[in-house]
A = this chain, B = another copy of it.
Amino acid sequence: MTGLRQSWVESANDPETDFPLNNLPYGVFSTDGKGPRCGVAIGDMILDVAGLEAEGILSAGDPPVFSEPSWNAFMELGPEGWAGFRGALTALLAEGSSLRKRVEPFLVPMEDARMHMPMAVAEYTDFYAGKNHAMNIGIILRGPENALPPNWLHIPIGYNGRASSVVVSGTDVRRPWGQLKGPDMEAPVFAPCKRFDLELEMGAIVGVPSNGPVTVQEADDMIFGYVLLNDWSARDIQGWEYQPLGPFQAKATATSISPWIVTKAALEPFRASTPEREKELLPHLVEPGPMIYDIDLMVTLAPEGKTPTVIAETNYNRMYYSAAQQLAHHTTSGCPMRVGDLLGSGTISGPVKSERGSLMELSWAGKEPLELDSGETRSFLEDGDTLTLLGAAKGNGYRIGFGACSGTVLPALDDPYAR
């Protein structure tokens, strides 16, 4: 594993920064008086690559790819274009770069920037690939005998989510209304969700299209990068709607992602293996190498006006299936994949209570409310709660961070049909 690479941007050499020269994640930012544009995080600064491209100092391709505030056009360049640009960017920002004087004017302090969606999400798929999570939910809903669905150890099961509901970190999330029916209710009601929850996930972004079945290796090669992802979930709405067609409105209010796409290239030193198979996979789903990543993850919950409590800490390498396996499975039917497709990993939970990635698991469906540092307890999310996911791969003297994935729960509307 290589160590920290030195940059002339001083703050990028801090061993505690999320954004050393080794990282160089891609986002879209705006500042007072200047609209959204593509940028790269470096230390506590953002490099305005759209500006650099416009000035002819840095080019990723011809025609230009940063004229729109989204990384989709860049992704379309494919792996060679990605590698070339990352190389040029690294040279530009490395200690001793001869271009420093020309580049410096394009650095913007991160604290002055507002972040936007880094890409247009083509389609969003959410998986269910964490075994501890699937077991926990299964035990809660169906008891220990039938906890794991029969297909679970054979395919990374998933469902199509709603791309239009994906939002960037910092976007408030309004508690939804929905149709729900508790086991003790005679008829369903239309009411605000009472069991609003988070799901700690990673999101993989597809950067190469496909049009037919792809192998796991090809799928891995198609992935552009990763983000943190919180799949906000209305458990009571889900309980009533999900049979037999799966989650629908319960998962359609919002899915938050962290604003920086951390490239697969930056994560290369942190490749890890998924856990040992409990049942042999069919050959088309077997990983030819390590395709999950060693990324420490943390969730904090802050009630309104209170300090945050760490409610879960786990690692992405807990997942039974990698994003590459999920993507390969996604294409088996011939389903075309497109640049900008987003794949949620499924909730990441470890084997012990402190590693559980949802309140449904942490409070065991409300039976064991969680105690916060403020003295309050939580079974599910309350209005005003701010949820934050954090993640970083930790190298030798540096870290590859994702930046925060945050969202605050707003109260449900009084009347959802008032205009």
User: Which A residues are within 8 Å of any B CB, using their own CB?
Assistant: 122-123, 128, 149-151, 154-155, 157-165, 174, 176-179, 181, 187-190, 212-215, 234, 237, 240-250, 252-254, 279, 282-284, 329-330, 332-338, 341, 413, 416-417
Q: Which 7 A-B pairs have the closest CB atoms?
A: A246-B246, A252-B335, A160-B160, A249-B333, A213-B416, A159-B245, A245-B246
B241 A330 Cβ-Cβ under 8 A = no
A133 to chain B, nearest CB (A): 13
Give the shortest distance, in Å, between A150 (CB) and chain B (any CB).
8
List, in ascending order, chain B residues with CB within 8 A of A149's CB: 243-244
Check if B215 sits within 8 Å of A335, measured CB to CB. no
Give A76 Cβ to nearest chain B Cβ, in Å.
15
Question: Cβ of A157: which chain B residues have Cβ within 8 Å of it?
Answer: 241, 245, 248
CA distance A155 to B240 in the complex (A): 10
Per a CB cutoff under 8 Å, which of B174, B190, B249 touches A330? B249
Residue numbers in B under 8 Å from A336 (CB-CB): 164-165
A337 CA to B249 CA, complexed, in Å: 12
Q: Are A332 and B178 in contact (CB under 8 A)?
A: yes
**Bound state CA distance, A237 and B330, in angstroms?**
13
Cβ–Cβ contact A284 & B248, under 8 A: no
A202 to chain B, nearest CB (A): 18
Given A122-B164, A123-B163, A177-B332, 15 more pairs with CB closer than 8 A: A123-B164, A151-B243, A159-B159, A159-B248, A165-B336, A176-B334, A179-B329, A188-B282, A189-B282, A212-B413, A245-B246, A252-B330, A252-B334, A253-B335, A284-B417
Question: In whole angstroms, how far apart are the Cα atoms of A161 and B160 in the complex?
Answer: 6
Task: State in angstroms the CA–CA spacing of A247 and B333 once bound together.
Answer: 12
Q: Check A155–B245 contact: CB distance below 8 A.
A: no
Can you pick out 28 interface pairs between chain A and chain B where the beta carbons lie within 8 Å of each other?
A128-B245, A149-B243, A149-B244, A150-B181, A150-B243, A151-B181, A151-B188, A151-B240, A154-B179, A154-B187, A155-B179, A159-B159, A164-B338, A164-B341, A176-B333, A177-B332, A212-B416, A213-B417, A242-B244, A243-B244, A246-B246, A249-B329, A250-B333, A252-B330, A252-B333, A253-B334, A253-B335, A254-B334
